[in-house]
């Protein structure tokens, strides 16, 4: 039972490069989320997808795009990476419209931009 | 968006002590959760508690939705309780889950 799987776990980019972070969940959850966590800080919401086919901006969407490819997968794309995007990125999922709705997290992607 | 404030920001305890962590939020919520981030960075869901009280071993949580706060109680703390505790909330009629800045707990042997 994998839960929420993020790939890659680590990545180093040069300024201006692009890349896509992948996230997949096998729990049949409706909603998926992308957060970033800077050192010593809390998680800030980048984008979320309340259900398949919808995506919405969170607190810090600038510089990012997302795709809800299907119910299982939610990807985050950096079109032109900047040093300010150096962070740990977490993907999460949640089953909506249930009596108990805990959010499940992946182990994170550590991204460094030089 | 909804504002989430956690207190205290840092807490140092001796093993065996009890503690209370607080989460205040600015709007009515339909989802509130407590998480523990361990020293390896993993986020573990402790409670889903938009209202009421729950207990799980040495941990318990209470949310008073009408007064817009939640409390996490840790009793007989152990060194393995160290890490950062986050509160996350989702406002009613909204689907984004927002996190507080966290409480960093250090339990000393």
The DSSP secondary structure of A59-113, one letter per residue, reads S--TTEEEEE-SSSBEEEEESS--GGG-EEEEEEEE--SSS---EEE---EEEEE
CB-based contact, B88 to chain A, within 8 Å: yes
Calculate how close chain B gets to A48, using CA atoms only, in Å: 7
Give the closest residue to B72 by CA, choosing from B35, B31, B37.
B35
Which residue on chain A is closest to B35 by alpha carbon?
A: A103
Question: What pLDDT digit, counting tens, does each position of A44-68 carry?
Answer: 999 999 999 899 999 999 999 999 9
User: How confident is the model at residue A73, as a pLDDT?
Assistant: 97
Omega of the bond prior to A8 within 30 degrees of 0, cis?
yes
Whether the predicted pLDDT of B90 surpasses 80 = yes
Lowest mean pLDDT among A74-78, B4-8, B95-99: B95-99
Q: How far apart are the C-alpha atoms of B40 and A81, rounded to whole Å? A: 26
Answer whether A90 sits within 8 Å of B43, measured CB to CB: yes
């Amino acid at each position: 039972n994998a839960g929420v799987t993020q790939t890659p776990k680590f990545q180093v980019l040069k300024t201006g490069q692009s890349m896509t972070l992948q996230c997949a969940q096998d729990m049949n959850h409706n909603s998926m989320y992308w957060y970033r966590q800077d050192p010593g800080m809390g998680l800030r919401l980048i984008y979320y997808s309340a259900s398949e086919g919808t995506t919405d901006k969170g607190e810090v969407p600038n510089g990012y795009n997302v795709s809800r490819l299907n119910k299982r997968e939610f990807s985050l794309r950096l079109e032109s990476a900047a040093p300010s995007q150096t962070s740990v990125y977490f993907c999460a999922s949640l089953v909506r419209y249930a009596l108990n709705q805990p959010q499940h997290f992946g182990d994170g992607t550590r991204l460094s931009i030089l | 968006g909804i504002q989430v404030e956690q207190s205290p920001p840092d807490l140092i305890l001796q093993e065996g002590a009890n503690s209370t962590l607080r989460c205040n939020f600015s709007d009515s919520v339909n989802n509130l959760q407590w998480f523990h981030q361990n020293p390896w960075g993993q986020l573990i869901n402790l409670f889903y508690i938009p209202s009421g009280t729950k207990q799980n071993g040495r941990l318990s949580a209470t949310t008073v939705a009408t007064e817009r706060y939640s409390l996490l109680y840790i009793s007989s703390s152990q060194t393995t309780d160290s890490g950062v505790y986050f509160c996350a909330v989702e406002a009613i009629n909204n689907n984004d889950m927002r996190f507080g800045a966290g409480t960093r707990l250090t339990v000393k042997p």
